[in-house]
Structures are given as structure tokens and as C-alpha cells.
Amino acid sequence: MATTREQSPPRAEPSAAAKASSRERLLDTASALVYREGVGTGIDALCKAAGVSKRSMYQLFAGKDDMLAAALDRAAPGYQALLLPPPDAPVTARARLLYVFERLEEAALSPDYRGCPFLAVQVELKDPEHPASAVAARGKQVLTDFFRAEAARGGAADPGMLARRLTLVFDGASARGGIGADTLEGLAVTTAAALIDAAGITG
């Protein structure tokens, strides 16, 4: 009597949830590794750390540049939420401006601190046309726009200039703190406060 040969079940295609999970793992891993080790981190290392095959990575992204840009974009809201004050507190423009530098000093206390992730990517890539540089520039602009809006609300004579100066202090402080060249405690806040006070913002 002939026996019926068992057939292997058809191979299931990856579900949408599985694809989303792989994409999120790659983005989170890229964000963490690039922040710690730089944009030179290779595809093999990124995929291995994320537990995702290179084939899957190239199904999800056009390449490393695309993935790096997406990783920065995904991380931006969390980083901005860390620095920027919530809408309800503190109240005065001066306090809200200094809030950013207080959070910067706190963040720089961590042994894992490597500076502003947006600035680090821009400096390493040295190419404003790179997709990740474009995302980083937008991220930096959010901070400058916040400075300008609060400077105007506080009555600064030239809100745009104060915003540029505060961005300069923020970037310089985060860069020096990120490379361990200086500690920021009592430095970033007082420097920003001097600029804010000189601009005529008292409350």
C-alpha cells in the first residue's frame, strides 16, 4: 500500500509585526552604537548587535546612510524631551532657557555621555548633504528655535542673536563634555545665564 509523502508546510513570510520589530531593533541599536562608537560603525556590527541579518536590513533600508538618518530621526523626540522644559514649567523665559543648560550639566555627569548626538554626527560626517546630517540639522534647529522663542518672550532686544549665542554655548559645552575635556558643572548654566542677563531678560 502506497504511503502519502508528507509535504513541508509553506514557508511563512515575515509578518508586519516582525518586520516592524526588526526595524525598531536596528534603529535603536544604530542610535546607541553610533553615539558610543561613531558613524564609522560597520553594517556587520550593527546587524549583529541588533540580531538582524544583513539581508533583512537591506530589505528595510536602502543602506547604512538611510538607516542612520532614520535612527537619528527616531531618537530626536526623546533627546529633545530630555532637554526642553515641559509646557507647564518653569514659567519665566529666563528659567526655561536655563532649564536646557541644567539638563545638559546633569546629562554630562553620566560616564556614557558623548555630547550632543546631532552635533557629533554632523562633525563626523562633514557633509551637510548626507541624509543623517540633514536630520541632525533639523534636530539642532529645534533647540535654536526654542531659544529664539523664549528670548522673544522674555523681551530680548535681539532674540535671534541670543538664540545663536546660546546654541554656540550649548554646542561648545556638549562637545567639551562629550570628549572629557572639561566638566560642565557650574559652567554651562552660569555662562548661559550671563548671556541671558546681558540680553536684558530678567524674568
Neighbours of 135 (CB within 10 A): 22
The domain defined by 73-198 folds into Tetracycline Repressor; domain 2 (1.10.357)
Cβ-contact 44, 54 below 8 angstroms? yes
| DSSP per-residue codes, 20-66 | HHHHHHHHHHHHHHHHHH-TT--HHHHHHHHT--HHHHHHH-SSHHH
d(CA 143, CA 145): 5
Mean pLDDT of the chain: 90
* 97 pLDDT more than 50: yes
Q: Which of 121, 142, 111, 130 is nearest to 33 (CA)?
A: 121
Residue 174: is its pLDDT beyond 70? yes
pLDDT band for position 14 (50/70/90)? low
Give the span between the Cα atoms of 38 and 43, in whole angstroms. Answer: 12
The ranges assigned to domains in the chain are 73-198
Query: Once rounded to an integer, what is the mean pLDDT over residues 16-43?
Result: 86
pLDDT band at 16 (very low <50, low <70, confident <90, very high): low
